Chains A and B, each alone.
Chain A
Amino acid sequence: MSETVQDVSTLIISKLLANPKVPRDITGSSKIVEDLAFDSLAVMNFVMEIEDELDVSVPLDRLAEIRTIDDLASCIVSLKKGT
């Protein structure tokens, strides 16, 4: 099955909302560092959870380009397609 960016974005948001410290009003365009107040370690640890859920590895150098939840979803979808 191939997920769309929208599917992955929804999954990421639901995972994030499981953490009570995350603001309730996040959307796909929320910025991971600024809006969620995640530091670099928290971002890497959170991405690890998503990786397991979707059976994909996101290389750290790709993470550097990611700002929003939708960016992360697009990155994961492109990695799953092998591009």
Chain B
Amino acid sequence: MTIFDKFRGIEHRLEELKALGGRNPFDVIIERPLSSTAGIIEGRETLLFGTNNYLGLSQSPRAIEAACETVRARGVGTTGSRIANGTQSLHQQLERRIADFFGQTHCMVFSTGYQANLGMISTLAGKEDYLLLDADSHASIYDASRLGHAQVIRFRHNDPEDLHKRLRRLDGTPGSKLVVVEGVYSMTGNVVPMAEMAAVKRETGATLLVDEAHSFGVLGPTGRGVAEAAGVEKDVDFIVGTFSKSLGTVGGYCVSNHPELNLVRLHCRPYMFTASLPPEVIAATIAALEDMQAHPELRSRLMDNAARFHAGLNTLGLTTGKTVSPVVAVVLDTIPEAIALWNRLLTLGLYVNLSLPPATPDHHPLLRCSVMATHTPDQIDRAIEIFSDAVNSLKTEALPI
């Protein structure tokens, strides 16, 4: 018996996955990005359809320049916590810019999006409180529920009535009720019915936190996310998000009109006990935000591309979620089927994410694709063609599909 025995199960499963498809699906290396939409994988030029880089801003010339200038002027890191030596004028500037962008008064910037959820949710919902989570919540939200001390109740995915029922059961119990939803669910691309969720919040007096990780820069007339798109921003108490998707850098944030957000800074362990973002990342993030605001056409191009890709996959007879969003998940029945198709796609020059249960809802494996504003129509059509070739070749070889 050793301390590593608990990992034998995953070791065995990994061997099975490798035996099914030849590759370790969790060890794909992008040797070099060629642009926001293509990179070298296994020595071949590969189309990238699984990077969450929705607006292509990881390669923004303005952000690259800002990072280079800043790193020369300020060095490569802060070497400290936000509440000690890790807050520079740039951190404050970014917080101001993000708060202004959302039209909110306060903002906290975290070192990652994961830590923003982990920190805000575990800190806001205290021992006497209740945390109500969508059943398909991201791991960062579930982890927050374990770091905090609140009682945790799951409601059915994207089901405002079920949330209402569960809040009603808590009528008369002391303690605040914090409801957490996501704008776009990362695995399936499902969009939250935000207006209905906001109505439940108004009727029950709960506190509402929305994770806009996959909807920031993507949904809403100015890219503020799903709450803006649904016209219910005033009902949202806290918006959490990340810079590592539409802005192409790394880091997380929470914005709010509650002035008490500044007190959260002194209670929030994932904010206090970690090093702050390096200055060049902050500068690149500010530049990427400026790019996003200066180019609203990126959002319309992204949605056009998402619609083109979604329709193309459906025409091939593949099952995807119904809603068109930049996350397009192809739903498969079995793991061998998913492994075979994912491997074939990569061999043919298309990278997508392989998502396996129990990290996926309903025990279905998914080939999770993310579309970008910078994909050209030709690249979208080529990706659909690769899907078609992969499915057909697997059928011909009588492999599972």
Contacts and interface: CB of A to CB of B under 8 A. Distances in A.
A19 interface: no
Interface in A40-75: 40-42, 44-45, 48, 55-57, 59-62
A48 B358 contact: no
A44 B145 CA distance: 14
Interface in B345-401: 357-358, 363
A6 B101 CA distance: 57
A48 B154 CA distance: 8
B358 A40 contact: yes
Given A44-B135, A45-B135, A48-B135, A57 B358 contact: no
**Contact size range, B:** 10 to 19
A44 B154 contact: yes
A34 interface: no
A57 B145 CA distance: 16
Contacts of B135: 44-45, 48
Interface residues of A, number: 14
Nearest to A47: B154
A39 B361 CA distance: 13
Given A44-B154, A48-B135, A48-B154, A57 B166 contact: yes
Given A40-B358, A41-B357, A57 B156 contact: no
B199 interface: no
Contacts of B357: 39, 41
Contacts of B170: 57
Interface string A18-49: 00000000000000000000011110110010
B358 A60 contact: no
Contacts of B358: 39-42
Majority SS at the chain A contact face: helix
A53 B135 CA distance: 18
Contacts of A39: 357-358
B152 interface: yes
A40 B154 CA distance: 13
Contacts of A61: 151-152
B153 interface: yes
Nearest to A45: B135
A42 to B, nearest CB: 8
Contact of B152 (A40, A48, A55, A59): A59
Given A41-B357, A48-B135, A60 B153 contact: yes
B169 interface: yes
A56 B152 CA distance: 13
B359 to A, nearest CB: 9
A60 B154 contact: yes
A57 B170 CA distance: 9
Contacts of B153: 57, 59-60
A57 B152 CA distance: 9
A61 to B, nearest CB: 6
Interface in B153-170: 153-154, 156, 166, 169-170
A22 B302 CA distance: 45
Interface of A: 39-42, 44-45, 48, 55-57, 59-62
Given A57-B170, A61-B152, 9 more contacts: A40-B358, A41-B358, A44-B135, A45-B135, A48-B154, A57-B169, A60-B145, A61-B151, A62-B151
